Structure 1
Amino acid sequence: MTHEDRGHYAGKHPQRKIDPVVVEKLEKLKDINQITCAAAHRVASDLNISPKEVGVQVDLMELRLVQCQLGLFGHTPGSGQSDKEIRVSDDLKLRLEKATKEGRISCKACWDIAREFKMSRMDIGSVCKKIDLRIKPCQLGTF
């Protein structure tokens, strides 16, 4: 979605309906008209449903997702920015390249590799940016 589409997220899912159980959880964690990536994932975990389903419900509620855990979007200036000086080991670069399909790596693969290499998700996002590796798709369906 482009900036012009902001606030019209439900239009991405014309055949979908609000799930009251998911919405109740999201309502408790939202801040005004937005919710953090971490909070959305917490709802998915708590309800044992996919992050993608939570992302659909976030869209139907017309909430904006913020504070991507990979540092890709929704951060205030000066925070959540990539570390341009981050070091990339040969092993990490090889592992990321192995998980890449058609020039992209999924958000989920980044999370798994971060865990595997005992790195923060933000650092994996920085590494991907540094080696020009595009992260897509998002587990929540944002990108």
Structure 2
Amino acid sequence: MAEGFKFELVSPARLVLSEEATQVVVPGSEGDFTMLKGHSPFMTTVRPGVVEVTVSGGRIARIFVRGGFADASPAGLTILAEQAIPVEELKADVIAREIQDAEEDVADASTDEVKRVAQEKLDQLRAVFAATTPAGH
């Protein structure tokens, strides 16, 4: 059995998860990475996606994060997320309506900057929606 390490996921609203983990898969801005005990230290930004945490005992927690930072060290991993929502709390129908509204905002954008911001929001919502319908889980 793999050795555990300290894992914390924090959002501006609360401490979302603080567990002894054996593995954490993180959607890093340069690509997904897997954290195991004793990982070399580094810091990276996190893109919207699902953090998959295998806690000691084998249970898997899946949490959607929207951006933030990950700080890895040999002792553990801390993620400071802009937003973090357990996947089981995401509602696909609500997100689908928000995506439709965001698509209209992109289509109606009057300037390049307004369009860029609207497209970023749409991309984030699509990432949230994808988290509500995980393939292979």
TM-score when normalising by structure 2:
0.30
Counting strand residues as a fraction of each chain, which structure ranks higher? 2
Greater RCO structure (CA 8 Å; 6+ sep): 1
TM-score when normalising by structure 1:
0.29
Counting helix residues as a fraction of each chain, which structure ranks higher? 1
